[in-house]
Structure 1
Amino acid sequence: MPLQIVRNDITRMHVDALVNSANPDPVIGLGVDSAIHEAAGPELLRMRAQVGRIGVGEAACTGAGRLPARMVIHTVGPIWQGGNAGETEALARCYRSCLEIAACSHCRSIAFPLLSTGTYGFPKDRALRIATQAIGAFLETCELDVCLVVYDRQSYQLSRELREDVENFIADTTSFERDAVCRRGGQPGTLSAFAASAAEPIFSDALEALPNALSIDGADAPRRAVCSIAPRRLEDVVEQVEESFSEALLRLIDERDMTDPEVYKRANIDRKLFSKIRSKKGYQPSKPTALALAVALRLNLDETRDLIARAGYALTHANKGDIIVEYFIVRKMWDVMLINETLFAFDQPLIGR
């Protein structure tokens, strides 16, 4: 997968390049810097001393010592000063500098900590958005597997507005399903996955009362707007009933005048996997891959359900991850990176490969 978010100890990541949140001078700092030097052994500091001083937003590489990586890329993140001192661009530059070194060194994989969020005090939600946007922009033109590594839940944070809005949507959706079951004479919690997936999307007064969609640009606060879903025409449904997942995918790409690379990069899957889907008419992707492609194609909820059904899957309100994906689709927020940030925060599997 081009970008994945994982909960792990970064010193145990088996990658070509491991990124260190370094001190500007060749001394061992706190947090990630200390942990990496401890795991790598004293040789890492000797190699770091040969590099000399590193400026904010810049990066330099050394060997990796005893770490399970080929190289360590040292970068110096900005200290948070309230947001008006160029911190956002400096932090984005850290990620770009590291990625450029990795690409020039013919690395196939790289692991980052969430830079500047420890002793440098960068707000975690802003740092997360900057990281995923900078990495995502780089991956539009370069093939590289990137891991964003967080050590524990305290190391990772969504914006409060986004988290609360998603929590409200989940609560309203599950409440709607329980009420629907009771109206049919059943018991709450007995709705089958099939019945849940066939349920109508929620456009009740309760949903309209929810805060509108979140449109996050960089570190700005969310802006909100609700969208509607245009149903497909009956004649289109009948004409396309025999299509395989692969055939439907290629048709949708053509209808939207998109290119294959544009779609698989937006879906956060690699070219090799996309080629398999494209070349094999009966290929069945995983559900996370199917959902990511639906998001990359900017499908509405009805179209998404139709596409993933061709691979044998359904969106169900019995699954929190499915509800979260639905939240973003009905609000026209077709951003796989942001969806994955949210899924990770709610301990749900990510979409993509």
Structure 2
Amino acid sequence: MSDSAMLAQAAGKVIDWLGGQQAEMQALLQRIVDIDSGSRQEAGVTAVAEVLRARLEAAGIAVTLHAVPGYGVCLDAQVRGSGDGAPILLMGHMDTVFPAGTAARRPFRVEDGRAYGPGVADMKSGLVMNVFVAEALARFGGNGSPLRLFFSCDEEIGSSATRERIMDVARGARTVFNAEPGRVSGNLVTGRKGSMVVEFEVEGVAAHAGINHAQGASAIDALAQKILALHALTDAERGITTNVGCVKGGIVPNMVAPHAQAQLDVRFTADTDVDALYAQVRAIVEAESPPRTRGRITAMRRTQPMARTPDALLALYQRGAQRLGFAVEGEFTGGAADSGLTASVGTPTLCGTGPVGGHAHTEREYCELSTFVPRARALALAILELR
């Protein structure tokens, strides 16, 4: 039998097997959605990893869990290929944005073909899809390159504890498919903004608001002025947005506030001079306005923008999707993800390969269950075509 015939036979078996896994996929999704695994919830993240490890190991796939103190674990799994060389990397993250107790308050449920629950789209459905694709290839083969799954544990808070490990894994990979949710349109993600979160505080001078008002210097006044200046850095044409999303300050209403603090979110494109942008932010924060107030940055974390997916990689996925009867395009999104890290080291990266979902990070978050099997099949075909 020729190589092409053997590949076609393996592809047929993979496609057929995945076609019968809808119920199993949903069952596994329910198990991990009903586990709280917010960022820094070590036990919950580890519990999700253990559930996924059990499924992979039952299929004969070697799994290693790497401890990340304070955050949980990273899951690292390997599926052999018929050849040697760099592996194809399937990425995901096991942490969510939701606090402990969320899963008990609103557990996994299905209504009108949509699954709901904390992290159901972002990105537990993508984890499940990757696991089933890996199992299909472990069962039936056909992949020339080895396959590697790497699921991290702190993506939702900027991957500070795992970014170096993720970049090292990506440097050794041939291609990356990151199973963040497919867009509501059904499209894939071929470019992302980077993000920068800046935490800062302002010190003022306390005074009685009625008796000694002029002797005070309000930290809240200073913070308000800084917020206006920071928001003025937004430049839609250049793809830059700034948003102070959290503020806190003061002690009581009749005291000129001696202290205030805030958190700033900045989004930017791969064309942005981020160091220059950060210098502008810092100058605003540290400006003494009004007099006798002082601002300082207390923390900063940054995610990389995702450089554009190579056209050839998008086209490869599109060919498989077309064979399966659906069409996808690539689109740019303002959301940041670990695909920015993998693209930053030069590894061709395609993101948003997970099942379609929407309203991430909210109580309305959902996953379109009907997209599970088609997206898994399309991913599998893309992997098989990478010879």
- Report the TM-score when normalising by structure 1: 0.27
Larger radius of gyration: 2
Higher strand share: 2
